[in-house]
């Protein structure tokens, strides 16, 4: 089994967290790929790290490399493709402000014993990891007062989860509304594992996420949408298509803590308005789609889902060109 770690960053090669990741990856013989952007430093030399500037990215043999927008988090897509071309069977992604615990590096299995949510609608996954009131970024504000299901009422069994989301302590991934109105830091004190299956929704992010090969196609990050929504809306599409494959999405305890990069919270709030306004409806529209069952139809289902997001005006029509390039590239290398 081979895996790779992917980060996108505009930091320099003296960044302490990038250095730590590079050292840990080198110790474990784990390929560590960092995708830069136009704001990245001209020189970047870090032992144990394979850094890709925009100029170097444009030499990649991918259709997507020719057309992917710059100055966007979605350039991470090129890192995914690069790792997949190199033959990995697992991909781990995080960000340059997350510090790994030892558990972050532990081997994972796609079949996991977990509490299983099905046909429950919206699930505030953070509720099951702390006694504090908190919700994940991307969770519809309209659903915040919904009573959550008791774990004791759910099946606790081995379930297939090729997408696995770990939490982050101290500065969890919450939206600007939470950051402006509730105190932080906060660490999750409960150690549950919960899996969301068919007709159960919750966002997941790109900050501490483990992907197995069969789900690689669902890693695609949209470019023609808000920076603060790209990984969230990806997660909705991934969950909807996962249902057709008989997969669940696993959420587990924190294996990193975050020392958050500097943010302007009001700017974050502004960038998250498309989410506050549309998250609930996006999932309603995705759930109503008639998709083809089976993992052999993932590419077709991706197109159907993004066509719907374009139709309801949350993603730009230019997205289909990028998505088609992603699919064409994956078809050649996967």
In this structure, the strands spanning 121-122 and 50-52 are unpaired
Q: Determine, yes or no, domain membership for 275.
A: yes
d(CA 219, CA 211): 8
Q: Determine, yes or no, domain membership for 214.
A: yes
| pLDDT digits 0-9 by tens, 105-136 | 999 999 999 999 999 999 999 999 999 999 99
Q: Are 212 and 112 a contacting pair, CB within 8 Å?
A: no
Q: Determine, yes or no, domain membership for 193.
A: yes
Q: Determine, yes or no, domain membership for 55.
A: no
Q: Determine, yes or no, domain membership for 7.
A: no
Structurally, the chain folds into a number of domains equal to: 1
Q: Determine, yes or no, domain membership for 311.
A: yes
Query: pTM score > 0.85 for this model?
Result: yes
Percent of the chain with pLDDT over 90: 97
Q: Determine, yes or no, domain membership for 28.
A: no
| pLDDT digits 0-9 by tens, 202-253 | 999 999 999 999 999 999 999 999 989 999 999 999 999 999 999 999 999 9
pLDDT of residue 221: 98
**pLDDT over 60 (residue 1):** no
Q: Determine, yes or no, domain membership for 215.
A: yes
| pLDDT digits 0-9 by tens, 154-185 | 999 999 999 999 999 999 999 999 999 999 99
pLDDT of residue 261: 84
Task: Using alpha carbons only, give the angle 271, 52, 56 rounded to the nearest 5 degrees.
Answer: 110
d(CA 113, CA 27): 30
Q: How confident is the model at residue 32 (pLDDT cuts 50, 70, 90)?
A: very high
Domain assignment of residue 254, given as a range? 99-333
């Amino acid at each position: 089994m081979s895996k790779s770690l992917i980060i996108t960053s505009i930091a320099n090669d003296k960044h302490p967290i990038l250095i730590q990741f590079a050292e840990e990856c080198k110790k474990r013989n784990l390929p560590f790929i960092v995708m830069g952007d136009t704001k990245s430093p001209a020189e970047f030399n870090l032992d144990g790290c394979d850094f890709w500037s925009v100029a170097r990215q444009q030499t990649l043999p991918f259709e997507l490399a020719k057309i992917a927008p710059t100055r966007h988090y979605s350039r991470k897509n090129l890192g995914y493709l690069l790792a997949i071309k190199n033959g990995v069977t697992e991909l781990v992604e995080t960000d340059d402000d997350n510090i790994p615990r030892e558990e972050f590096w532990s081997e994972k299995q796609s079949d996991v014993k977990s509490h299983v949510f099905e046909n429950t609608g919206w699930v505030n996954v953070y509720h099951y990891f702390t006694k504090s009131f908190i919700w994940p970024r991307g969770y519809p504000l309209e659903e915040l007062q919904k009573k959550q299901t008791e774990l004791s009422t759910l099946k606790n069994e081995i379930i297939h989860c090729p997408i696995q989301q770990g939490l982050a302590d101290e500065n969890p991934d919450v939206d600007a509304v939470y950051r402006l109105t509730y105190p932080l830091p906060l660490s999750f004190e409960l150690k549950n594992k919960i899996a969301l299956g068919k007709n159960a929704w919750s966002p997941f992010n790109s900050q501490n996420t483990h992907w197995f090969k069969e789900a690689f196609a669902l890693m695609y990050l949209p470019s023609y949408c808000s920076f603060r929504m790209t990984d969230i809306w990806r997660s909705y599409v991934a969950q909807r298509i996962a249902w057709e494959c008989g997969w669940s999405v696993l959420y587990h305890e924190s294996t990193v803590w975050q020392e958050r990069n500097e943010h302007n919270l009001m700017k974050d709030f502004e960038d998250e308005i498309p989410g506050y306004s549309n998250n609930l409806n996006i999932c309603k529209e995705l759930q109503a789609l008639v998709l083809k069952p089976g993992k052999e139809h993932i590419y077709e289902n991706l197109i159907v889902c993004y066509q719907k997001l374009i139709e309801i005006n949350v993603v730009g029509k230019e997205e289909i060109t990028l998505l088609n390039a992603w699919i064409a590239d994956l078809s050649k290398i996967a």
